[in-house]
Amino acid sequence: MTKSGRMLLALGFASALFLAAAPSGARAQGQKVKVHVTVVYLSNEGNAVDPSLAEMKKSFDASGVRFSSYQQMSSKEEELTTGKPMEIALPNGSKATLTLTGIDKGTAKVDLAVAGVKTGVALGRERSVYQDAGAHKSGKLMIVLSAAK
């Protein structure tokens, strides 16, 4: 694995460990939570940065992860229901699966699976979770998961 890949993986795991207040509306069995899912293409081809991704670039740069181009490939709001997987088709032909596993002490717990690797994340209102979604063209895809506002 390249240095950049290791740093992306470390950044993804560090982001996944963030705990904060969960989105409202998720209670008891059949819990539901709205999430915002963005797929981003990172590369070193050109220097175009979508304005909505400026904070992501700043965060990555501060962590030593250097890409010059940040392109939003898709962005949508989804509602997750406890135990019901929701799939997202990715531009590289693979899929990501999101599953709400429950709410614990006000924090939404979500399993995020990409390319056979499942990561448990704690989703709050104040931060986004970044997950490496594999190679695409000459760069990488990144899933950005956050609570819907």
DSSP output for the chain: --HHHHHHHHHHHHHHT---PPPTT--STT-EEEEEEEEEEEESSS--B-GGGHHHHHHHHHTT---SEEEEEEEEEEEEETTB-EEEE-TTS-EEEEEEEEEETTEEEEEEEETTEEEEEEE-SS--EEEEEEEETTEEEEEEEEE--
Residue 62 CA to residue 109 CA, distance in Å, equals: 27
Give the count of domains, the chain.
1
Most confident of 12-21, 25-34, 78-87: 78-87
This model's pTM is above 0.85: no
> What's residue 99's pLDDT?
97
Residue range 7-16: mean pLDDT, rounded: 43
- Find out whether 33 and 121 touch, Cβ atoms under 8 Å: no
Residue range 4-30: mean pLDDT, rounded: 43
pLDDT tens digits, 78-100: 999 999 999 999 999 999 999 99
Task: Note down the domain range covering 58.
Answer: 3-147
Residue range 6-32: mean pLDDT, rounded: 46
On the question of pLDDT at 109 being above 60, the answer is: yes
On the question of pLDDT at 22 being above 50, the answer is: no
- Written as six digits, the tokens of 11 are 């950044």
Mean pLDDT (the chain, rounded): 83
On the question of pLDDT at 131 being above 60, the answer is: yes
